Every structure is written in C-alpha cells, then in structure tokens.
Structure 1
Amino acid sequence: MPEMPTAAPARRSRKRIAIVAVVLLAAAIALRWVSQPSQVSGILLGQVGKALGLEITASGASEYRLRGTPMLVVRDLVARQPGAAAPLLRAERVYLALPWRTIRAAGDLLEVERVELDAPQLDVAALQAWLATRPPSTGPMRIPTLSKGLSIVSGQAIGAGWSIERLSLSAPELHPQRPLRARLGGRVLGAGVQVPFDLAATLQRPALARGLGLSGGVEVQAKDWTLPMRIRLGALLHSGDDGLGLDRLRLGADARYRAGDTDLPFVFGLAGPLRYRDAALTLAPLGAALRGKDAIPQLDANGRFAFGEELRLHLDGVLAQWPEAWPALPPPLGQSKSPLPFVLDYAGPGDFSGDSALRLQRDQTRFDGRFRLPAVLDWVDANEGPLLPPLSGRLSTPRIEVSGATLEGVEIEIEDDATPATAVSTPATTPPLQ
C-alpha cells in the first residue's frame, strides 16, 4: 500500500503562491504610484527643499521620463522659507534633465544635462533673508555641470522700489573649471526711468572673485529724454557682509543724449566697487570721466552714487574749460581761462528732474546755486534765450569791473525768472586803474 503524501509540501506550495501574489500586488501598486508624476515630483521637491531649508511645492501638472536621460518637469512651482510671508521663488515651469549616474551618486556628483525656467519670479528681499539663515560654507562652493546649458525666459526680479522685467538668460553650457558665456536681456524699472539692456557676458569661472566681462546695448529712458549707449564692463564678482556686487569695476560707454531735436554724442567712464545691500545699489567711492564735443563738457570727478527708492549722486571734480557751445559766462568768470572746480549734489527721481545743488569756482570767484537739469539742457539747446541759465543762487567775487568802475566784495543774487541779476553787496567802488 503506497504512502500518502504529507501535508507540508502542499502548505509550502500555497505559501509560495501567496508570496508571489503579494509581490505582484505590491508591484502593481508601485507601478500605479510611479505612474503618477505628481507623486514622483513631490518626493523629489521635498528632498530638495529639506536640503535647502525651504518649502517647495508644485501645484501644476508634472511630467517625468525614465528612458534615456531622466527628465522631470514641474509647473506652478513655489519655494518659500518656512514661516515667510512672501515666496522666495515662483516659476510657471521648471525643466530638469540629469543622467542616471547623477541619480545613483545621490548628491556626490553634480552633473546635470539641462535646466530651463519659464516665467520665474524672484523676490530679492526674501532671497537675502533666506541666505542670511544658511550656515557658513566650510569649503569651496560646489558648482554643477550643465552639459546642455541653462535657459531662463520671461523672468522677473523684484526689489524695493525697482524691478527687472522680461529677464532672459541663455548659456550653452556651465562647467566649474571653464569660462561661462551667456546672453542677458531684460528691462530695469525704477525711480522714474526704465533701462532695457541686451548684453553678452563672459565669466572667467563660475565662482566668486573671478573676472566678469559685459558688453552690449543699454538705454536709459526717461519721460523727455533717452540715453542709448554701448558699454564695456570689467569687474570681479563679490559677496560679503557688505552685500553682493562687483569689485574693481571699470565701465566705459559710447553714448548719445537725445531729447527732441537734440542729439549729443559723448563717451564716459566709471570706476569703483559696486554693491547691492539694504535695497540700494551703490557705487562708492567712484571715479568718473566725461569727454565730448560742442555742448558736452570735459570733466573728471570723484564721488559716490546710490540708486534705491530715489537716486543720489555726489560729484567733486574739475571742468577743464567752459564749453564754447554754451553761452558765455559773465565776468569775471568768463574772463579767466583757469579750470573750474565744481561740486554737484543730487537727490531725487532717476530722470534727474529734481533739484541739483552746484558749487562752481574759478580763481577767487564762486557760485553756489540750485537748478533742474531738464531746464538747463533746454537752455543749452536753445538758439535764443536769456543770457543766464535757468538757475538760482549766489555769485561772490572779490572784484568786478562794470562800465569803467571797479566793484569790490561783490555778491550777486541770481533768480530763476529770466530777470536781470542785481548786485546786492558792493562795499567799495574805485575808478579803474590808469
């Protein structure tokens, strides 16, 4: 009589079948979960946000691809510092393509194929607040490699009293040890002016204290005048407790001042350290040089510049000579050929429509007054008009000859009303010397 099979093999067979069924069910659930791009993007954005100390979400439709070079697209991205009222960054679309070796390296390898941002909006104040919370770096900054480059379109950066609109940036590649070449475009808005720009940029290496070069077209556009120019800029990137900016800045420009029928070409240069901190852009101390013909003076000056909610400018320099195209200076200023030291101070809208304070001196004759640049430029451009420019102030001189008489200790008040100036102090009068 043959032996009956034991129950143990049957139980083992049923157990194997159950395990296989559970594995297949888990695989089906995993495939279902992986097939939802929002699940994958949520995990990835969560990991990135945790590493950066940010809350990063994407409420729009997401896409990803695993074949070939893995790719992820997220839409309606928002990144904010935890507890902050304003997001640091928004973007309608973010595209990221990175090879499998980067994924397997789990952060040890920073090789990316391409990054694209559509309509990003950067809040500069929120960015600076987040940067202030980041721990200090103990080593050199790690720069990723972008083998197929970077693209930003329709971007916006928002500061206090200014913004950059229609910002675009394109770079064919990015490598930590190679020069970075890019194209920048956009328009700066603020303080009564707008400044469209289209520039070619070259960075010696993508790191701080490395050389930066910019060249291309910039145009300052105010209500009644424009200033198109071709610029060339060289500097070193800077980041420190005094803000972000440029060291050893050297800027040269071929420019034209245009207002109505006026078209005045000239060249100018600026030098100094450029900083952005506390919602203000500053260049201090600065050196400036201006060269031109006809109505454009030749001057050299030192001073400082600040641009935030308003524009502030201080220049202390020398006019080499009074331009021949300007109406002649009254005596005794016009009788001397000496250079004219000057001090100029301005605080107001970025189109220079506010009041400027001017101190002008030649030999022992001195003028202290105030004027508005648009009115003075109209006076310079006019074929006919009053002898004196539209300004107000006080002229003082130790001696002046008028109609055969010598006036000593003269002070003249000048009013901006096209009426003749009068001598208000003439302590002594002597006949002319024979």
Structure 2
Amino acid sequence: MSRRWRLALLVAAGAVGVLLLAAVIGVYWLLQPDRFTATLQAQARAAGLDLSLASPARPALFPHPALELQGITLNESGASMPILLAARGRLALPWHTLFGGPTTIARLEIDAPRVDLDALQSWLGHLPSSEGNRVPQIPRIDTGILISRASVVRGNDILLDNLALETGQLHPDKPFSLDLTARDASGDPVQLRLLATPRASGEGMSFENIDLHLSHGADTTLDLRGSAHWHGAADASADLAGSVDLADAGRYDLSLRLTPANLRDPLLLTLHLAGPGRNADVRLPPLQLANWWSQLSDAEGGQLVMPPGSGHLDVDHAAFGGVSAEGLSLDLGEGIPAAAGSAPAPASSSAP
C-alpha cells in the first residue's frame, strides 16, 4: 500500500473517530441527565413525594437513548419511611423528547424495588390535602414498564416476594395490559392479569373495559369486569362485577363499587357477595381498613376492635384457627371515620 493510501485511510479513520466522539457528546448533551432528573423530582413533588438518587443519573446510548438511575428512594414529603427503594432503574427516552418534544418515556425498567405498604398508605391518606384540586393525567409510556425481583412489605413482614410485573404501552384511548406474578409469604403463587382502555379528559382519567383476573395458589380465582375513574386525591370511583371461585366452597357472585370521598364520608368500597353458604353486603373505607389490618399483625397493638365499616354478613360455617362457628350472622355498625381534612360526620341513630 502506497504512502498516499495509508495517509488517506488514517485521515478517514480520524474523521470517523471525530464524528463518533461528536455523536456521543451530542447525545449526552441532548439527554441532559440533570434536566430529566429535575423534571422527575418536580413531578414527584407535585404529588407530595420526594425522589432522590444515590448518584447522578447517567446517560446511555445502546440499545436506545436512556438514563440509568442508581439507588432510587421515594418518600412521602417530610416522612422518613421510604415508600419505594430500588437498586437501579432505566428510563428509555424517545428521540422526539430529546429534540425538545413533550417529555415522555419510551420504557421504564426497575430492578429489585422494595415497596412498603405502611408508607404508601400514609401518602394515600394525605392525598386530599396534598393534591388539592390537581387533575391527574395519564403518563405516556411508549413500550411499557418492566419490574423485576420486587418485594412488597409491611414494616418487616414480607407480603409478596420475587414479584415480576410487565405492562404494554400506556397511551390514552389504546388498550393497556398488565401481567404480574409473585409469591406470598407462604410461598404460594399469585398471578394477576389486567386489561383496560385508559382515557383522559379535563376532569381526570378513567379506565374503561376493565377485565381483571387474579389467582392465588390453586384455591382462589377472581374475575371482574367494569370501569373506574379518578379525578384526583380521594375522588375515585369504580364499578366492577364478576365472580370469585373458592376451591373448598364454590363459586360466588361478586360486585364492588367504589365511591369518592366527600365532606362527610371517606373513600368507600361497597361489596356484595352471594353464593353457597356465604352472603355479604358491606361498606368499607379502604384506607382505614388497611390501617386496621396492619394493627392486627402488631404484637403490641393492644385491644382488638371491630373493623371500620357497616353492613351485614351471613356465613353458614366459619373457622378461625381452632374455633368454628355455625350459622354466623354479623352486623357492622356505622362507625366509619370521616374523610381526612373534612368535617366530622354526624352520628347515626339507626342501625343498618
């Protein structure tokens, strides 16, 4: 090879190297990790949350432009107990976002997150005062969410482990799918499949054509269909109906209705169950019920009290540990706490 050709090849190689370096610097500049990190933290603050990272976000080029997040911590603002801890995350970003378009996420991946239900419940309980009249919007995710090796805990107790979750794209007016698998504290498998169509409006978000399938071990299967709406804070509603199959008892018709909080009542879940040997018509405040349930598992929780709610239950046969009962009939009173930040509800003078 002549000296002229060798020189030409060196010049060409140098030019390619410069172009590659310029491309790397350009994409790094377009990704602007500080800008996207600040955007995520601002969105978290708007929801009453604090988002922190163990180290600054790092840009990645392959296989798609993305931000690598290390040591993710998500807290309710002013609280010390984290709602979520995760080893790492990855935000894949579409090219139009990099060139100044709307801030959207192509794909969200989170590895080994730990979600604490007590902390989550505390944040949800403060939503009426922290969210005010903000109208929630559906985030756009082009290709879905992937969560692996997750756990759900309450304090030091593991409720779900080895949880894996994957969703399809999240766009208004397009079908959305969610698949979840996990193991409970006893090692029994839990599977959930959700199909729905999200819709957005000036009043909030809704989910139409909900088709939910849940199974727990080999004994329990739940199928529900319906719709749900969320206008912000505790202004949520839902109508779902279907059935639940219990291997040791049979099939039951089940309907669930969620009504939003107001000045008198908190968020309320009305449940109707009808089937062989068991019937129930009850109204339960989900957030207060979760707090009551957590107190049951607290060894130092003190005196056992009835769960919050109202309604009636009839059970032909019930067993609790080593104690069994026949022909059990139970009336729940009207002792439902008022919604957070609202005026107390007037006392009721009549039984259900």
SS of the residue corresponding to residue 59 of structure 1 reads strand
Q: CA deviation at 1:115?
A: 0.9
Q: CA deviation at 1:96?
A: 0.8
Q: Is the helix fraction higher in 1 or 2? A: 2
- The 8 Å contact of residues 252 and 270 in structure 1, kept in 2 or not, is answered as yes
User: Is the alpha carbon distance of 1:128 and 1:176 closer, same or farther for their aligned partners in structure 2, counting shifts above 3 Å?
Assistant: same
Query: Matches of 2:247 and 2:33 in 1, distance apart?
Result: 51
User: Is the alpha carbon distance of 1:228 and 1:97 closer, same or farther for their aligned partners in structure 2, counting shifts above 3 Å?
Assistant: same
Q: CA deviation at 1:76?
A: 0.9
- The 8 Å contact of residues 211 and 223 in structure 2, kept in 1 or not, is answered as yes
Query: Matches of 2:72 and 2:245 in 1, distance apart?
Result: 42
TM-score (normalizing by structure 1): 0.50
Q: Does 1:96 align with 2:91?
A: yes
Where does residue 281 of structure 2 map in the other structure? 302
Match of 1:112 among 105, 112, 116: 105
Query: Matches of 1:352 and 1:314 in 2, distance apart?
Result: 21
Where does residue 212 of structure 2 map in the other structure? 214
Where does residue 57 of structure 1 map in the other structure? 52
Where does residue 238 of structure 2 map in the other structure? 247
1:11-90 superposed matches below 5 A: 41-53=33-45, 54-59=49-54, 63-66=58-61, 69-90=64-85
* Residue correspondences, number: 272
Match of 2:255 among 258, 261, 271: 271
Query: Matches of 1:231 and 1:103 in 2, distance apart?
Result: 43
Structure 1: gaps of 5 or more residues: 1-27, 220-226, 258-264, 292-296, 318-341, 362-367, 369-434
SS of the residue corresponding to residue 208 of structure 1 reads strand
- The 8 Å contact of residues 134 and 232 in structure 2, kept in 1 or not, is answered as no
- The 8 Å contact of residues 197 and 207 in structure 2, kept in 1 or not, is answered as no
Where does residue 392 of structure 1 map in the other structure? none
Query: Matches of 1:43 and 1:80 in 2, distance apart?
Result: 21
TM-score (normalizing by structure 2): 0.60
SS of the residue corresponding to residue 82 of structure 2 reads coil
User: Is the alpha carbon distance of 1:283 and 1:345 closer, same or farther for their aligned partners in structure 2, counting shifts above 3 Å?
Assistant: farther
Query: Matches of 2:233 and 2:50 in 1, distance apart?
Result: 28
- The 8 Å contact of residues 72 and 86 in structure 2, kept in 1 or not, is answered as yes
Where does residue 144 of structure 1 map in the other structure? 140
1:350-429 superposed matches below 5 A: 352-353=320-321
Structure 2: gaps of 5 or more residues: 1-21, 200-204, 262-266, 297-305, 331-352
User: Is the alpha carbon distance of 1:238 and 1:197 closer, same or farther for their aligned partners in structure 2, counting shifts above 3 Å?
Assistant: farther
Letter in structure 2 aligned against 1:134? E
Query: Matches of 2:270 and 2:68 in 1, distance apart?
Result: 46
User: Is the alpha carbon distance of 1:194 and 1:242 closer, same or farther for their aligned partners in structure 2, counting shifts above 3 Å?
Assistant: farther
- The 8 Å contact of residues 314 and 343 in structure 1, kept in 2 or not, is answered as no
Which protein has greater RCO, CA pairs closer than 8 Å, 6+ apart?
Answer: 2
Where does residue 230 of structure 1 map in the other structure? 221
RMSD: 4.5
Letter in structure 1 aligned against 2:238? D
SS of the residue corresponding to residue 181 of structure 2 reads strand
- The 8 Å contact of residues 58 and 67 in structure 2, kept in 1 or not, is answered as yes
Query: Matches of 2:71 and 2:191 in 1, distance apart?
Result: 28
Where does residue 205 of structure 1 map in the other structure? 198
